[in-house]
Amino acid sequence: MNNKKVNTVNMAMKPGNNMIVALDIGTSKVVCLVGEVGLDGTIDIVGIGSHESRGLKRGVVVNIESTVHSIQRAVEEAELMAGCKIHSVTVGVAGSHINSMNSHGIVAVRDGEVMEHDLERVIDAARAVAIPADQKILHILPQEYVIDNQEGIREPLGMSGVRLEAKVHLVTGAVNAVQNIEKCVKRCGLAVDNAVLEQLASSYSVLTEDEKELGVCMVDMGGGTTDIAIFTGGSIRHTAVIPIAGDQVTNDIAMALRTPTPHAEEIKIKYACALAQLASAEDTIKVPSVGDRPARDLSRQALAEVVEPRYDELFTLIQAELRRSGFEDLVAAGIVLTGGTAKMEGAVELAEEIFHMPVRLALPKGVRGMGDILNSPIYATGIGLLQYAKQDIQHLGEAVAVDDTVERPNVLNRMKAWFQGNF
């Protein structure tokens, strides 16, 4: 029994003994990160691969061939750098098909003391909610437990009581959207360890425990979607996806300046500003025209006047979502922006004007190595996926570390979870 278990752990830790691989399949780029987990639990980045993404729209696969090609290129690049073969990855899932709800389950405690099987039963009771046939549960995230009207319990194992209640956050996604992502990954000859909600992954790499405790709204602004996650009291309370992000800004620039989309993207990255008053009218930029017409000069302020309304609209939509969730007054730590679209000059200042609360731009942390490259909000999701994968491995490792008598339920649990996830 023990030998078998150790083997499964080694398989989960492919490609080496303690290697973990994250694959962030975004609308604008595919990033593959290879991390090595040290004995002290720190993650050292040993390989990174990135490639432009072409087969996705608003976080959802629209062209399998193009997505497979982008994944292959990114994975090959990461393999070369890390000097190892990648077998399995933890992949991120996003898109407007993502829904979330809060649910709760109640069970009677069998032996007067909360055991592992009681926790499973109460989570099973909490997940028994009606969800559409085309949706599947991606995550069941426990928020808190209540034992005999005693609220606010995080770790109920071993506590005495008669009645156990669990409050959980359920995240569901469209079955076909998740299958398409998994199909693309499998076409590249890779196995999928986990499909993780992208904003949940990002929260692992950019939020501090204090912020989660106090109440914070994390906004991951990508190319195709803007992902929101709200935390209060140390647990996730609300998730949402807004299908407007950086691509819309690029589109606006292309339309207003009458320039091809690749040039508009370049202009946006180099010169754009989200707040018109920060850009000076004296600074001019060269705008390439369509066809063989000569390039035109444009002031940086005129460009900012195109960009600002779109950012204004995006932040107003985020604020409306925050109000709708009912958590607007509970996020005392304010707003944390991350993702490539949040990098733009003036984005934080404009957000502060709209939200009327503290706003910060967060850089991913919690990993070592390649700091000069990875010290950017672009990699927040990728690094978060690595941290999620590390936790997963640690759970497996704990299962091995205990003796045979305690181990058996864990194997059964994993089999049960596998069956529930696949059938």
Report whether 267 contacts 253 (CB < 8 A): yes
The phi and psi torsions of 181 (rounded to 5 degrees) equal -65, -45
Domain boundary among 361, 392, 410: 361
Residue by residue, DSSP assigns 316-339 as HHHHHHHHHHT-GGG-TT-EEEES
Report whether 306 contacts 207 (CB < 8 A): no
Mean pLDDT across the stretch 222-243?
91
User: Do residues 356 and 369 share a domain?
Assistant: no
Give the model's pLDDT for residue 419: 64
User: Do residues 228 and 253 share a domain?
Assistant: yes
Would 224 be classed as within a structural domain?
yes
User: Do residues 344 and 380 share a domain?
Assistant: no
Query: What are the beta bridge partners of residue 24?
Result: 31
Is the pLDDT score of 307 beyond 80? Answer: yes
Domain boundary among 361, 377, 412: 361
User: Do residues 376 and 303 share a domain?
Assistant: no
Give the model's pLDDT for residue 249: 92
User: Do residues 195 and 241 share a domain?
Assistant: no
Half-sphere exposure (Cβ direction) of 262: Cα atoms closer than 13 Å: 3
Q: Tell me the one-letter amino acid at 363.
A: L
Q: Tell me the one-letter amino acid at 230.
A: I
User: Do residues 61 and 75 share a domain?
Assistant: yes
Q: Which residues contact 412 (CB under 8 A, 6 or more apart)?
A: none
Per DSSP, 276 falls in state: G
Would 308 be classed as within a structural domain?
yes
User: Do residues 180 and 192 share a domain?
Assistant: yes
- CB atoms near residue 107 (< 10 Å): 20
Would 111 be classed as within a structural domain?
no
∠ CA 210-212-213, rounded to 5°: 65
Would 133 be classed as within a structural domain?
no
User: Do residues 373 and 299 share a domain?
Assistant: no
Would 371 be classed as within a structural domain?
yes
What's the predicted TM-score (pTM) here?
Answer: 0.84
CATH code assigned at 326: 3.30.420.40
Report whether 400 contacts 222 (CB < 8 A): no
User: Do residues 227 and 244 share a domain?
Assistant: yes
399 or 55: whose pLDDT is higher? 55
Lowest mean pLDDT among 278-292, 300-314, 336-350, 366-380: 278-292
Would 382 be classed as within a structural domain?
yes
User: Do residues 356 and 418 share a domain?
Assistant: no
Query: How distant, in Å, are the alpha carbons of 173, 293, 360 from that of 288?
Result: 41, 8, 34
pLDDT tens digit sequence for 358-389 = 999 999 888 887 877 888 899 999 999 999 99
Q: Is 343 helix (H, G, I), strand (E, B) or coil?
A: helix
Domain boundary among 361, 394, 412: 361
Would 383 be classed as within a structural domain?
yes
Lowest mean pLDDT among 201-205, 249-253, 364-368: 364-368
Domain span at 271: 208-361
Would 150 be classed as within a structural domain?
no
User: Do residues 225 and 335 share a domain?
Assistant: yes
Give the model's pLDDT for residue 413: 67
User: Do residues 69 and 182 share a domain?
Assistant: yes
Q: Is 132 helix (H, G, I), strand (E, B) or coil?
A: coil
Into how many domains does the chain fold? Answer: 2
Give the model's pLDDT for residue 383: 92
